[in-house]
Amino acid sequence: MKSDRIILLAIIVSLSCSPISQEIITQVDQTLTLTEILKSMDHYKGKMVLWGGVIVETIHRPEETLIIVTQTALDYEKRPKNPDQSEGRFIVIKRGFLDPAIYATGRTITVAGEVSGKEELPLGEILYVYPVVTATQLILWQKLEYPPYYYDPWYWEPYPFWGPYPYYYHHHHHHGNRYRIRR
């Protein structure tokens, strides 16, 4: 049974948008948490990390794009999960232009890259010190779309294009109207 599950997992992972390449994963120090690095950023310069989270803001600079991210834990696909739990924020730097309309606030990303220093930027009234990761590989995840029937119980009715209301109306409400409808 176990091998079936592994095969299934392999299929699921290969179907995910674009998993981080194995070559990069072998270079990553997966024990390095944001909390650890915040304690001593200079000490970890040059280390490869694999982090993810939710985009706060994408800022375009002349040669590069800077993405401020609220860190979250990653699931087995290396996709960010539990957006309410975070160890803090970090900055991703990617050479070239990334469109802020695509790398938009609220989207989830996963980055593999090198801890390249720190940057201080204003956050409200304070100056916040962000660890900076220069991206080797960056994944922008698709928004999670639930299947249609998840939010539309009438989706599988014979006339889905009518939407729920006419169907619901004729069958469940206003029995007095039934004669007028049939007239």
Residue 17's pLDDT is: 42
pLDDT of residue 20: 80
Question: How far is the C-alpha of 97 from the C-alpha of 95, rounded, in Å?
Answer: 7
Query: Domain 18-140 adopts which CATH fold?
Result: OB fold (Dihydrolipoamide Acetyltransferase, E2P) (2.40.50)
The segments of the chain whose pLDDT lies below 50 read 11-18, 148-152, 154-157, 159-160, 162-163, 166-174, 177-179
Contact 36, 115 (CB under 8 A): no
Strand partners, 58: 67
C-alpha triplet 175, 181, 183: angle, nearest 5°: 120
- Whole-angstrom distance, CA of residue 41 vs CA of residue 34: 10
Contact by Cβ (8 Å): 75, 13? no
Q: Is the Cβ–Cβ distance between 138 and 92 less than 8 Å?
A: yes
State the pTM of this model: 0.69
Cβ proximity of 59 and 65 under 8 Å: yes
Model pLDDT for residues 40-76, shown as the tens digit of each residue: 888 899 999 999 999 999 999 999 999 999 999 999 8
- Which residues in 60-90 are b (16+ Cβ under 10 Å) and which e? eeeeebbbbbbbbebeebbbbeeeeebbbbb
On the CB side of 32, CA atoms within 13 Å amount to 25
Looking at residue 22, its pLDDT comes to: 83
AA letter at 93: I
Domain boundaries, the chain: 18-140, 148-182
